[in-house]
Amino acid sequence: MISLLRAWRIWLSLGAGLALALAFPSYNLPIFGWVSVAGLLFASLGAGVAEAVLCGFLYGAVFYTFSLPWVYTVMRQYGPLPVWEAAGVLGLLVVAAALFCAAFSALVAWIGSRGAGLALFAAPFLWVALEFLRGNLPTIGFPWNLLGYTASGNLALVQLTAVTGIYGLSLVVAAYNALLVWAAQSATRGIRNRAAALWAGCTILLAAVAAFGGRFVPTAQPTSVAHLVQTDLPQSLEPPPNWDAIHAGDMAELDRISIAAGQARPGLVVWPEVPAPFSLEHAAFAQRAERIAHESQSDFLLGVIDWKPSADNGLTPYNSAALLDPAGREEFLYDKMHLVPFSEFIPGRRYLWFARDLTALVGDFGHGTRYAVGNLPGGRFSVFICYEAVFPNAARQFTRNGAALLINISNDGWFGRSAAPAQHLAMARVRAVENRRWLLRDTNNGFTASIDPHGRIVASLPPDVRGELDAPYGFREDLTLSTRWGDWPAGLAIIVSVLLLAVASFLPRGKRPGEGKKKG
């Protein structure tokens, strides 16, 4: 029978995991990010390692289940997978991600058996180290909804990412959670003054920065305007052969919107990540794209499927972005590098029986190999496509390669009106701040926006409408510390975690509550 103590730890872990999910869109209660990890720390300290593994796993399972339910929706509607197989894909993702929370809880419990203070000091570094590992696993890294994003919605706090990147903000939030536990534990032992004063001081400082710091964030001045076209085309599992005929009216309207916007103010017209069977290898579509560029008197950036020869003498599709100059000539092409697991390719296809029918959604796209930089009047730019917005290093590499403007094209129509588009926008917004670049974000059905180098959304379109956004932007050449040094807080967290684990291994193990008592 589960003891009362163990039941208390389990319920606390479940509640804390739910609290972290509530900190993200679409629940939008970021305050819970500042206390959720504290709940898991309370559950882990004093527990055995096996019990801590269970607590951490349950914490992660609840968090990812409630923050990523859209994965099931995508698999169910667009796989199309049967109910149990769609649930299997979501379950695999939840289990894999929850293992990192289980590892965190286990390590905290193990260090805590040598000293609770040492465990709480180590906790923020362990959390960030494991977040970094989760986000950077080869091929299947998944840096979605990192802890730092719970604080990134605040204009003042998000400025820290220009120095530390998102992992530095995760470290701050995790450290506050650990400090909260230390203050609470000290209070129960009657040691109120130092711990409570430090916690209260940090709370007041963070609250003051969050409430008033935004007033001191500079306002960026744009120099140009781009025309972001939100195409609002319906999603289809497999476009029918007569797609062009069926959507002739839609395409005519998009032509008119794009050309009129460019003629009113020539510059840059942008279409989103490919929302339909668009390829410049198809003569009819190539002629349409060339006409839009020519008649709008503008550069035309759009998402396309680019076909390249493969090793087996066939053709491999690439999810790409192409730029046509005002004369209709292709001047730039970028092939997406970070493909979406279970959407653009299936990792370990032969071993995943529940994904064997996942064929309509997955196109087995080829992986791009180059962080391409192109030229526009006024400066250089780079494009990252859809899911790549959640990888800090992708935007950083583009910026290091000379991009003075960042553009993110995406088709979030696959997500429907779930929390995913809002979560996606929140993460993309941080890429602008980390690199101090204007970010133009163009999507099929929302959220389309212009984001300044300090993270302000200065213009946007409502979702699920077809239209054009006059999006202010400019070019910047300076490099932030985050751009120059990369994810240095994550590297620091890994080093400190290893050192603290080594120190703990030489310390004597204390007794857990209840050990050493006679059984009666």
Quick check: 489 and 171 in contact, CB under 8 A? yes
The overall longest dimension of the chain from CA atoms, in Å, is 90
Give the closest residue to 126 by CA, choosing from 504, 388, 389, 396.
Answer: 504
396 vs 389: CA distance, rounded Å:
11
The SS3 of residue 207 is helix
The SS3 of residue 295 is helix
152 vs 161: CA distance, rounded Å:
9
421 vs 292: CA distance, rounded Å:
28
- Reply yes or no on whether 511 is catalytic: no
The SS3 of residue 515 is coil
Q: Using N-to-C axis directions, what is the helix angle for 488-505 and 116-135, rounded to 10°?
A: 140
The first and second tokens of residue 308, run together, are 């390249």
Q: Which of 101, 131, 336, 344 is catalytic?
A: 336
Burial class (CB in 10 A: 0-12, 13-18, 19+), 136: middle
Q: Which of 85, 386, 388, 434 is catalytic?
A: 386
The DSSP bridge partners found for residue 270 are 228, 301
Q: Which of 51, 85, 131, 273 is catalytic?
A: 273
Residue 325: which residues within 8 A CB-CB, separation 6 or more?
293, 299, 331
- If you count them, how many residues does the chain have? 520
- Reply yes or no on whether 55 is catalytic: no
Quote the strand ranges of 62-163, DSSP E: none
Quick check: 374 and 323 in contact, CB under 8 A? yes
- Reply yes or no on whether 515 is catalytic: no
Quick check: 131 and 185 in contact, CB under 8 A? no
Q: Using N-to-C axis directions, what is the helix angle for 161-188 and 116-135, rounded to 10°?
A: 150
Catalytic machinery residues: 273, 336, 386
